[in-house]
Structure 1
């Protein structure tokens, strides 16, 4: 939201720099209009970014679930597969060049591997807690 609001503010200032207000009432309406445009642009950009991040999260989760249903034996590396696959789809959808695509795929694979390691560590800690609670 903040990026969209700042961009709208700068755009408004650039569009109206040639004719600044001359009265107190003019400055009031100038700032009021600028603030409304900033709020609207911030909400619009925030919604766009939220939709992009949400759809990427749904894609990631969908790939994880598909791996569990298609190949249940691949459950230990489902996050790694989901990270690599979703980053490849993201790079293809974004029409990135080879260098950018490689970086995105490496980052997605690293994040998938990190999530897999965190899940394994969480399971180990959970097992230790269960052992400590049982007499």
Structure 2
């Protein structure tokens, strides 16, 4: 049976998720927070236990045991301090990683929506015909807005989110200017790399990427112009 007009087929655009990594923010954010929390916990356990072990050795270097029982109690106390220090540092790192990853993903989504709103507002300076078309599109409501946001989900937003997160991190830790600039460059590079990875996954799954569509439009437009010039009169 033929499908009614306006209804997307099962293999059409409806199955292509407009979200990053083909996951909505409601699913992508908890997953990212979980991974960040586990990573921070593992790194904190490793670092905290090593630091606690070194501190214990330094504090007891002047009173090393001289008997077998003393050495047994020494290592037992050292292991206890290492375990406690690892757990405490692991919890701290877990919370720290989760917070900054949440800031990045929230900022990334905010930049996506802000860029979409900027593109929609830019239509107010277009020609009369374009204004009418823009007005008709705006009447479509949230669906058209989400489409604009989906097209703009690319590595540019990720790079800006990384830059903004690095700036907040530098301000929170009161870094000097040179360190803040270096952190900003690292954040921008990390955001760009993560954004390109997301774009690659999106393209592989058929999602439209803003700058890729722009380049394709230029290439296709130039190709059509060349065909028009080469066509016989």
Q: 1:75 aligns with which of 119, 144, 153?
A: 153
Q: Does 1:118 align with 2:118?
A: no
What does 1:31-110 align with in structure 2 at a 5 Å threshold? 31-72=75-116, 73=149, 74-76=152-154, 77-110=156-189
Deviation, 1:71, is 4.0
Q: Which string of whole-angstrom CA distances, capped at 9 and with x for unpartnered residues, describes residues 56-98 of structure 1?
A: 1011011122234444355333212211110110111111111
SS, match of residue 153 in structure 2? helix
State the alpha-carbon separation in 2 of the partners of residues 9 and 116 from structure 1.
40
SS, match of residue 66 in structure 2? coil
State the alpha-carbon separation in 1 of the partners of residues 188 and 205 from structure 2.
26
SS, match of residue 205 in structure 2? helix
The structure with more radius of gyration:
2
TM-score of the superposition, structure 1-length normalised? 0.85
State the alpha-carbon separation in 1 of the partners of residues 71 and 186 from structure 2.
48
Task: Specify the alignment match of 2:60 in structure 1.
Answer: 16
State the alpha-carbon separation in 2 of the partners of residues 115 and 92 from structure 1.
23
State the alpha-carbon separation in 2 of the partners of residues 45 and 59 from structure 1.
21
Any stretches of 5+ residues in structure 1 without a counterpart?
129-135
TM-score of the superposition, structure 2-length normalised? 0.51
Deviation, 1:2, is 1.7
State the alpha-carbon separation in 1 of the partners of residues 93 and 76 from structure 2.
26
Deviation, 1:104, is 0.6
Any stretches of 5+ residues in structure 2 without a counterpart?
1-44, 117-148, 208-233
Moved over 4 A (4+): none
State the alpha-carbon separation in 1 of the partners of residues 162 and 188 from structure 2.
5
